[in-house]
Amino acid sequence: MRMAGEGGYDAVQMRVVAEQSGVAVGTIYRYFSGKDELLIAGLAGWLRHSRRRIEAAGVPGDTPAERLIGLLEKSAVVTQKRPVLMGALVTALGTTSPSAAPYKLEVEHEWRALVVTALGPSPDIDAEGVARVMHHVWSNALFRWVGGLAPDGSLAHELTNAARLLVGGPVRV
């Protein structure tokens, strides 16, 4: 992730990853067929770590909408501070390699779990349904921002507007 954050997708070389990890290149290839899988697995791990930290600390806010919107706004700020890394991750997520599918599913699972965690228990909200829709919004907004089709700040705008529409609260236009 560090190499991708500093130099983008092309900077991630499996040989260099192996050298910096102190393992043989063959060891890396035993677990990952290429850098797409490696980067996607790194993203899944990052999301898992974030979810566990948030579960332990709790999400500030009195309502599901406040908790979800607060988490999404903070997430968007963190994301948009790392455009080079996000560009590398979007490139990796765009792979059509079937061997990357389990890692993509793990990213989706962890992202959705973050949303469910933020919402907390609520009899009036289909947390899993909200999480599925929010994952789609996140994916599309991230791809548009990284691809230069949407300006800085658009990620937070898209995520929070979708959250407001799904779980309540005033919608900003």
Residue 150 tokens read as: 């949407």
Q: What end-to-end distance do the CA atoms of the chain give, in Å?
A: 35
Buried b (16+ CB within 10 A) or exposed e, 12-33: beeeebbeeeeeeeeebeeebe
Which amino acid is residue 141, in one-letter code?
A
Per-residue pLDDT of 102-123, as tens digits, reads 999 999 999 999 999 999 988 8
Place 169 in a pLDDT band, splitting at 50, 70 and 90.
low
What are the extents of the domains in the chain?
35-167
Place 172 in a pLDDT band, splitting at 50, 70 and 90.
low
Please, are residues 41 and 101 in contact by the beta-carbon 8 Å criterion?
A: no
Per-residue pLDDT of 3-39, as tens digits, reads 999 999 999 999 999 999 999 999 999 999 999 999 9
Distance CA 164, CA 147 (A): 25
Which amino acid is residue 119, in one-letter code?
L
Length of the chain: 173
Residue with tokens 């933020």: 118
Compute the average pLDDT of residues 158-164: 94
- What pTM, to 2 d.p., does this model score? 0.90
In this structure, whether the domain defined by 35-167 belongs to CATH 3.40.640.10 is answered with: no
pLDDT at 8: 95
- Residue 79's closest CA among 128, 150, 14, 12? 150
